[in-house]
Amino acid sequence: MSSDQRFFDFLKERIGLDVASVGEAIIERAVRQRSQALQALTADQYWLHLQGSHDEQQALIEAVIVPETWFFRYPESFATLGRLALSRLAEIKQMRALRILSLPCSTGEEPYSIAMALLDAGLAPHQFKVQGMDVSPLSVERARRGVYGKNSFRGQDIDFRERHFAEQSDGYRVSDRVREQVRLQVGNLLDPALLANEPTYDFVFCRNLLIYFDQPTQKQVFEVLKTLTHVDGVLFIGPAEGSLLGRLGMRSIGVPQSFAFSRHAEPVPEPVFVPMPAPVPQRSAAPIPVKPRPFSSFSAQVTPIKAAPAHSDAADLLSQIAILANEGKSLEARAACERYLQSHPPAAQVFYWLGLLSDVAGSALEAQGYYRKALYLEPQHPQALMHLAALLESQGDVAGARRLQARAARSERADSERKR
């Protein structure tokens, strides 16, 4: 089927999906698959069926959503959660159980990882509860089943599997001790009544979701997340979403590779949303040594990213880098960056990607070098400024981080004045 705006608009309305974030081909393929399954001969026939069938609407959404997750993805996030949870319990004098939210929870790897991390950190079962939520009933059902294949266990450190799973003929089953800590349900983040009667959460995991929304939807979703998160709580996001939260008045807590943000107490200007690059999945690596500062004063300021090179081959290669990184193929993404540099003039965005790939792999010095190269070519590159500032601050170079933040702020003011 050719591009059909009706299906794009349907997915935008139902789940907030911006077609530009995944590409028209992904949606067209899903429509073809569902149409063929129903033996619908034309796009119009399938569209009519879609309008009259709630089950088919959900089936199309399921065909577009392809879960890509595994246990303890971004390991430092869970290590940080354990430390913060113990601190949070002390703050509230253990008067209640901690509340943690994971959305979208996909097929359950994230909420179960949260529960395992907290149990391993020494929390008792009565001290916390985890809520997992996803728009996909099929994914939630798989999460409730709690049986996983080898693809859900990645990286070098999978010792947790011995502690928290039982091997059976069709995979590994999550232990009852972990399952009892997690409640799972279907829910849509775009639903204005989502968890309306629930207390706020101490920790919220919402990773690699905002990048699939257009700018108005990003703002809408952030307001929901802010409502769900306790004023003293922490929001965990994907590695490519930090600059967005920085513009919304959130601050990095200063722990490398944790991608954790807390609220900024000072008033901030009305946010301006910018497109985000695709997320880069975490590879298992030793964490960067940091100073023992649970919360930092870092606040990123960003400006819109410049457009990709006009040359179509260069633009295609940049798109390929993003796709490979989003699929967790870090080595392939890095090789694509090298191919770009071999066949095209140096580009700030490519050096930024190399910096981010090095950053999340734990190579701090290498990441700094790439970020600085990006800023040499494009002095106000927003993501490079934000990530380099966070990296410097986490290593104790507060003055260097402040200089980068001030530089970004000056650029933003100048850009705003030019647009008047």
Which of 205, 236, 267 is the last residue in one of the domains?
Answer: 236
79 and 59 in one domain?
Answer: no
The H-or-E segment that residue 183 falls in is: strand 182-186
Instruction: Tell me which of 58-62, 141-145, 306-310, 376-380 is least confident.
Output: 306-310
Do 90 and 123 have their domain in common?
A: yes
pLDDT in tens, 385-395: 877 877 776 66
Q: Are residues 34 and 134 both part of a single domain? A: no
- Confirm whether 196 is domain-assigned: yes
- Say if 269 falls within a structural domain: no
Number of H helices, E strands in the chain: 18, 10
Evaluate whether residue 293 is within a structural domain: no
- Structure token digits, residue 255: 């722990």
Mean pLDDT, range 311-320, rounded to an integer: 77
Same domain, 411 and 344: yes
Claim to verify: residue 27 and residue 176 sit in the same structural domain: no
Q: Which tokens in the block code for residue 418?
A: 């030019």
Listed ranges 117-131, 197-211, 240-254, 298-312; the one with the highest mean pLDDT: 117-131
**Residue 265 confidence (pLDDT):** 52
Q: Which residue has the higher pLDDT, 18 or 34?
A: 34
Token pair of 230 as six digits? 């306790």
Mean pLDDT, range 123-135, rounded to an integer: 96
Q: Which of 156-160, 162-166, 333-337, 378-382 has the lowest mean pLDDT?
A: 378-382
Boundary of a domain, candidates 194, 215, 236: 236
Instruction: Quote the pLDDT of residue 186.
Output: 92
CA–CA distance, 190 with 369 (Å, rounded to integer) = 40
Whether 295 is in a domain gets the answer no
**Residue 285, token pair as written in the block:** 């690596």
Q: How much is the average pLDDT of 306-324? A: 68
Q: What does the mean pLDDT of the chain come to?
A: 80
pLDDT in tens, 55-69: 888 888 888 876 678
Q: Which domain holds residue 169?
A: 75-236
In a domain, 360, yes or no: yes
In a domain, 97, yes or no: yes
Domain co-membership, 45 together with 133 = no
Same domain, 127 and 157: yes
Work out the average pLDDT over 104-122.
96
In a domain, 297, yes or no: no
Domain shared by 9 and 99, yes or no: no
Q: How far is Cα 295 from Cα 46, in angstroms, rounded to an integer?
A: 52
405 touches 333 (CB < 8 A): no
Instruction: Report how far apart, in Å, the C-alpha atoms of 49 and of each of 19, 30, 32, 138 are.
Output: 22, 15, 14, 21
Beta strands in 264-357 (DSSP E): none
26 in any annotated domain? yes
Residues 258-267 have a mean pLDDT of 73
The pLDDT assigned to 269 comes to 42
Count of the separate structural domains present in the chain = 3
What pLDDT sits at residue 309? 40
Based on the number of CB atoms within 10 Å of its own CB, is 234 exposed (0-12), middle (13-18) or buried (19 or more)? buried
Q: What is the CATH number of the domain that holds 408?
A: 1.25.40.10
- 179 in Cβ contact with 212 (< 8 Å): no
Identify whether residues 45 and 115 lie together within a single domain: no
pLDDT category, 45, cuts 50, 70, 90?
A: confident
Minimum mean pLDDT among 35-39, 86-90, 142-146: which range? 35-39
Q: Are residues 109 and 148 in the same domain?
A: yes
- DSSP SS3 for 40: coil
Domain end call among 213, 236, 259: 236
Shared-domain flag, residues 229 and 326: no
Separation CA 418–CA 304 (nearest Å): 14
- Note the pTM of the prediction, 2 decimals: 0.63
For residue 112, what is the domain's CATH number? 3.40.50.150
In contact, 171 and 149? CB cutoff 8 Å? yes
**88 shares a domain with 222:** yes
Torsion sign over Cα 214, 218, 224, 228: positive
